[in-house]
Structure 1
Amino acid sequence: MSETLEDKVRDAFAQGGVLSRAAEQFRERSGQTEMALAVARTIEEGGVLVVEAGTGVGKTFSYLVPALLSGERVLLSTATKTLQDQLFGRDLPRLVEALELPVRTALLKGRASYLCLHRLDLARHDASLPERGSLRTLAKIEQWSKATRTGDLAELPGLDERSPLIPLITSTRENCLGAQCPQFKPCHVNLARREALAADVVVINHHLFFADLAVRETGMAELLPTVSVVVFDEAHQLNETGVQFLGAQLGSGQALDFARDLLGAGLQHARGLVDWQQLVAAVERAARELRLAVGKQWPGTKLRWVGPSPEGIDAQVWQDSLEALQQAFEMAAEGLDTVSEISPDFVRLYERAQQLAKRAARFALPCETDSVRWVDVGTQLRLVESPLDIAEAMRTRVLKIGSGTAHEDGDEEEGRAAPEDSGRAWVFTSATLGDEPTLRWFTEPCGLGDAQVLRVQSPFDYAAQAGLYVPRAFPKPNDAAHSMRVAQLAARGAAELGGRTLVLTTTLRALRAIGDEMKQQFERLEADVRPEVLVQGELPKRVLMDRFREGADAGRAGCVLVASASFWEGFDAPGDALQLVVIDKLPFPPPNDPLVEARSQRLEAQGRSSFSDYSLPEAAVALKQGAGRLIRRETDCGVLAICDTRLVAMGYGRRLLAALPPMRRLESEADFEAAIGELRNSLSA
């Protein structure tokens, strides 16, 4: 009888099997094998599997081993480019070698990750380069461009991901010249796509997947139909990533970028043939008028937009501004049409002008059903229309379970049934997918109600490895003194531990307040034992993470990292580098956010509780993610402090506590200090 995929997987994970050669300190874990066998069954039978695998299960190997042993073509999608690089550069090569498989792997990212040789050439002659250091950075990029094979900017050491140069040396869908480009043959984006189409295993990210679903332009349209196994790792981010791409956006920044490119191309290729200055002035004026229509607002404000105009804005003024913007784009398109044969630049700009005009017209019409609309206010203005979730798109356009085949613009084609996709295997996995057995928090918005669900517990002994402290006598979360007290508690622990502390905040305001207060607290300490306070935003994320992990190893005091948003997940500092995690408040979704508000209203209209069915599960998942930063290995030890008395004072606190890893409870301040003291003693032992 021939060996099944499950048999092969079981052998690989057995003690003394091939995985013993692939991973240091590999030992058989029942949870890891259980997940791997479930993935193997799904690959053999087809269908959808959702797996929540607790920290330490080793879920990466659990899906990679069966996927590789199946001999099928595989697509792997991760949440971030950093995780992509780790999967492609470390995990996949190790396994391919250990399993001795003749497998071709490829890495595919979005355009903004690759150097555009044509735009690099243009940047050389750009007189308006931002900031003084840009010429030095540009020279460094030029030097690297001669040696790189992939053109992936992640390979360029020292390039700040926030550099204003990046948009000037990368292409967008709008400004790419395609086959007309003088650098088409050596183009890094096209090379990456060709390699992906020829590979057996392709590693992408969720942004790229949904960008393609929205515009069919990233090369995925050709790739996906040839793939038999699709795995989404860090799948808890799918819904929020997907809604960014499946709606529509129009920004004053987009308009100004278009105006700049229009003037540059016009003066370079067709000076005097069209009044470029006039066309550009019209676009810039219309974008400015739209911004002025909103008036003074706090930066970061999101204005609800239910009727013909956003809240507090005169409807006539708003509609007139949108119409003026549409007309300015249409006039630009007319001017470009007259010179389109002169240069491929004009063809792309013409298409871009038409697209922007169409988008302005869309925002002048009422919002789509089951969508929500708002305006983001910053230096620039961003008009956003978003679906409430990705369920419909997943069912009809990804899994192909529905009544029609979707076109690029999202419209269903009448009378044609979607092809059943039952033979393909879909695996969705993460350490956190909800706080109840059916994982409804994840499956419902992702349209995966009929999926098979598996939950695999973490192998860590949390009661022995970690303590949870919720201070009782503490200011309420909305009290003015709250952030100061959080900073004092964290500073006390960090001073004892020589840094090794991560403070996670729910708002940017708290981030700054806690960062400033901790710096003041540490000024009283001697310089050689004073922990360094790193605050998110002050340095690039990668630099912050590397500096924190170095900790006290460099012969100086360790670090405290005060961070928000993106550091609640995906930040890994195993070992002694991190021993205290402090969370300032329960991470409930902001109630005044238009998307949160619209989702809550939809649940209430269905007769459900928006708090129990949305806000509470959202907070539970985010809290679980934040807590997950503390214990990353079986040898790690630490303390988690959550400075929100609602966790013990409110009835719903029990549900949130149940979602956390089963750490031992530290009931008093004395317990907290004793646990910190034990950690300090273990460091010096």
Structure 2
Amino acid sequence: MAGTDKTPSPPDFVVHWHHHFLKLKLMSKVTAQFQKDGVLAQTLPGFQPRDAQIAMAQAVERAMLKRSQLVVEAETGTGKTFAYLVPTLVQQKKVIISTGTKALQEQLYHRDLPALRDALAPQKQVALLKGRANYLCLHRMNQAFNQAGELARDLQQQLVEVRQWAQRTTDGDIGTMNVLPEDAAIIPFVTSTVDNCLGRDCPDYDACYLVKARQRALDADMVVVNHHLFFADMALRNVGFGELIPQADAIVFDEAHQLPDIASQYFGESVSSRQLQELAHEIKLIYLTELKDLRQLEIAASKLLVSLQDWRLVFPRDPMRGNWRPMAQREEVAQMAALIAQQLEFLRDVCKAALGRHQDLDQAYTRCQQLLAKWKQLQEVNRTGYSFWFETTTRQATLHQTPLSVAEKFGDYVRDSGMAWVFTSATLAVGESFHHFTDQLGLYEATTLCLASPFNFAEQAMLCVPRYLPQPHEAEMTQALVDLVEDVVTHNRHGGTFVLFTSHRMLQQVATLLAERIEQPLFVQGTSSKRDLLEEFTAAGNGVLLGTSSFWEGVDVRGAALRCVVIDKLPFASPDEPLLQARVEDCRLRGVDPFAQVQLPQAIIALKQGAGRLIRDASDQGVLIVCDHRLVTKPYGGVFLSSLPAMQRTRDLTVALQFLAQLEKPE
């Protein structure tokens, strides 16, 4: 038409693509990865976008950009692992990922990370870094061979196995040495500790597997560690010779609910009779192999070893944990502690007289000085602000000094670091409050986020608190629990059952009685490794597994293999737990209710962890049975219930058993 200047309309598909392009452009790079046509959908079979996962990924992205603190409770099914991995991979920053256990650390590194890294950031280098006790020490192995004649025959055979493996390994990771059990007695002889490592003075320094692992971590863009390694390194860094973990722009703690207790351990002090025995044995070895003219070395080391045997005898025979303050006041204990201090001083003086003759002896002298100082410090039990406690095994005794609070030290470290800090777990909040967690770690400036599970718990699961059971502390409870589990197993023929206990004693009593009552495969904690028990339980499909604390968390059994979780009682910490006693006493001195401040929040988080074993997938179904009336009869029971997923609820065990029985038989 003459005189008009009208531009023709673009075809519909052009408009559609233009709008789609603008939409993607407006999205952050992180958010775009979680869309139906994003990289995750193209990389991970069956991936579906989840609002909670996207919300967490966006929050992690903001924290990294602002270098701020973020605390996220992401319930089961949220997909928290990918929610923090995507932002950390997409951004051009160096990141440390810390997990609760070595098993989770390896799962993340070997299973979750590789495909995601390849799809999102193939140029990024990722490293796995474990604590020094996980790497073969060539110097210590050679030392062990020099003293092979002093070792028992079984240790000699294990040492041969280690040396053969050493010729094949490329990374020195003891965890890959399948020829020996994880707890093989030879392991301490062929690995190093902070105490006995020679550092740059070691003749095998250039070939050291730990040094190489650390170098890979320094060169990497992302390093996967575990909480114990992180805090061990942080504690060392405070005294000037840590930094095994490289500096980073951001750190993400997965399973962060474990951090307050782990941090307390590493900000405290401890000395074990095993440490002192190892020092004495190493000094005897130096005499036997290097300094044969120094007979005084052998005399001083032998005297210390004899005293350490007597030291264990002043404690009760059965292994236990207890309050060190009153124990230290006992006359026979105080006398023996003073004698060990004298023997350490004698050993130190003998080593000092020979300084410069051999590097191993010089290093042993330094260790002797440090252990003596710690030993004397742990005898000064009148200092406030700490819990002083001891623990014994059949042959060893360890003294501990644990700070009642790490909030100031850790909080200052976080604020002064200049890094982004992300803390996440399925269980961090108590009710809707994060104060129990953030106050313990001094995270007063943290942004908090609570993300509910996408699972339909109201249809998938049922919570039962059975009527007519004895009180948890009554003797009749053991038999009642056995009867209940037998009923559960009868109705859960095509599925597996977890029975979680708060004490080893109750577990053993129930295990003994139950073995005669059920035909299904029975798996009892302690009879095999945790990994093997879980694999066998899952493969059985209808097994019954009895476990204590280590099975309350970090266990992922999906489908019919786990359809019922039975919890014997509310998981309040034992009142004679030394650190708990000290924290309770501290609350009372400050005029704060210790039950509400310490005991209740810990128990709620533990129960949430145990309950979280049941529903691990959108198709899972099952029953949670808590055999403790207090959940419904005590005022605080409501706080427990409000922290659990919104399952169907019943007090009638018959109703719960019928729910179990009607679940489909697996194909």
TM-score, length-normalised on structure 1?
A: 0.89
Supply the distance in 2 between the matched residues of 1:131 and 1:457 (Cα, whole angstroms): 56
Query: For residues 185-584 of structure 1, what are the structure 2 equivalents within 5 Å?
Result: 185-216=206-237, 221-222=242-243, 226-294=247-315, 296-305=316-325, 310=328, 313-314=330-331, 317-379=332-394, 380-396=396-412, 398-399=413-414, 401=415, 420-421=416-417, 423-495=418-490, 496-497=492-493, 500-522=496-518, 530-552=519-541, 558-584=542-568
Equivalent residue, structure 2, for 1:590: 574
- 1:159 deviates by 3.9
Residue 185 of structure 1: SS of its match in structure 2? helix
Supply the distance in 2 between the matched residues of 1:198 and 1:223 (Cα, whole angstroms): 13
Supply the distance in 1 between the matched residues of 2:584 and 2:131 (Cα, whole angstroms): 33
Whether contact under 8 Å (1:548, 1:577) holds in the other structure is: yes
- 1:162 deviates by 2.3
- 1:208 deviates by 0.8
Residue 474 of structure 2: SS of its match in structure 1? coil
Q: What is the identity percentage for the equivalent residue pairs of Structure 1 and Structure 2? A: 37
Whether contact under 8 Å (1:161, 1:540) holds in the other structure is: no
Equivalent residue, structure 2, for 1:36: 57
Whether contact under 8 Å (1:53, 1:457) holds in the other structure is: yes
Give CA deviations for 1:580-601 in whole Å, capped at 9, x if unaligned.
Answer: 1111110001111121111122
Supply the distance in 1 between the matched residues of 2:508 and 2:479 (Cα, whole angstroms): 11
Equivalent residue, structure 1, for 2:196: 175
Equivalent residue, structure 2, for 1:117: 138
Whether contact under 8 Å (2:148, 2:156) holds in the other structure is: no
Equivalent residue, structure 2, for 1:73: 94
- 1:648 deviates by 1.7
Supply the distance in 2 between the matched residues of 1:217 and 1:273 (Cα, whole angstroms): 37
Q: What is the letter of the counterpart of residue 516 of structure 2?
A: Q
- 1:58 deviates by 0.6
Whether contact under 8 Å (2:538, 2:557) holds in the other structure is: yes
Supply the distance in 2 between the matched residues of 1:60 and 1:501 (Cα, whole angstroms): 27
Equivalent residue, structure 2, for 1:13: 34
Query: Greater shift after overlay, 379-388 or 151-160?
Result: 151-160
Query: Greater shift after overlay, 97-106 or 135-144?
Result: 135-144
- 1:661 deviates by 1.3
CA RMSD across the alignment? 2.4
Equivalent residue, structure 2, for 1:656: 640
Equivalent residue, structure 1, for 2:665: 683
- 1:22 deviates by 2.7
Supply the distance in 2 between the matched residues of 1:506 and 1:261 (Cα, whole angstroms): 40
TM-score, length-normalised on structure 2?
A: 0.92
Whether contact under 8 Å (1:52, 1:456) holds in the other structure is: yes
Equivalent residue, structure 2, for 1:405: none
- Distance change >3 Å, CA 159–CA 23, structure 1 → 2: farther
Supply the distance in 2 between the matched residues of 1:362 and 1:652 (Cα, whole angstroms): 40
Whether contact under 8 Å (2:196, 2:363) holds in the other structure is: yes
Equivalent residue, structure 2, for 1:88: 109
Query: Greater shift after overlay, 53-62 or 117-126?
Result: 117-126
Query: Greater shift after overlay, 34-43 or 224-233?
Result: 224-233
Q: What is the letter of the counterpart of residue 232 of structure 1?
A: F
Q: What is the letter of the counterpart of residue 157 of structure 1?
A: N
- 1:140 deviates by 3.8
Whether contact under 8 Å (2:218, 2:246) holds in the other structure is: no
Q: What is the letter of the counterpart of residue 531 of structure 1?
A: Q
Q: What is the letter of the counterpart of residue 433 of structure 1?
A: L
Q: 1:627 aligns with which of 607, 611, 616?
A: 611
Supply the distance in 2 between the matched residues of 1:502 and 1:186 (Cα, whole angstroms): 46
- Distance change >3 Å, CA 81–CA 41, structure 1 → 2: same
- Distance change >3 Å, CA 491–CA 128, structure 1 → 2: farther
- Give the gaps of 5 or more residues in structure 2: 1-21
Equivalent residue, structure 2, for 1:64: 85
Whether contact under 8 Å (1:78, 1:206) holds in the other structure is: yes
Give CA deviations for 1:376-422 in whole Å, capped at 9, x if unaligned.
Answer: 233322111101132122123x21x4xxxxxxxxxxxxxxxxxx44x
- 1:129 deviates by 4.3
- 1:224 deviates by 5.9
Residue 387 of structure 2: SS of its match in structure 1? strand
- 1:608 deviates by 2.1
Supply the distance in 2 between the matched residues of 1:7 and 1:535 (Cα, whole angstroms): 49
- 1:222 deviates by 4.0
Supply the distance in 2 between the matched residues of 1:160 and 1:481 (Cα, whole angstroms): 39
Flag the structure with larger Rg.
2
Equivalent residue, structure 2, for 1:415: none
- 1:139 deviates by 4.0
- Give the gaps of 5 or more residues in structure 1: 402-419, 523-529, 553-557
Give CA deviations for 1:220-261 in whole Å, capped at 9, x if unaligned.
Answer: 944667311111111100011111111111122222222222
- Distance change >3 Å, CA 32–CA 305, structure 1 → 2: same
- 1:319 deviates by 3.5
Supply the distance in 2 between the matched residues of 1:324 and 1:283 (Cα, whole angstroms): 9
Q: What is the letter of the counterpart of residue 299 of structure 1?
A: P
Residue 618 of structure 2: SS of its match in structure 1? coil
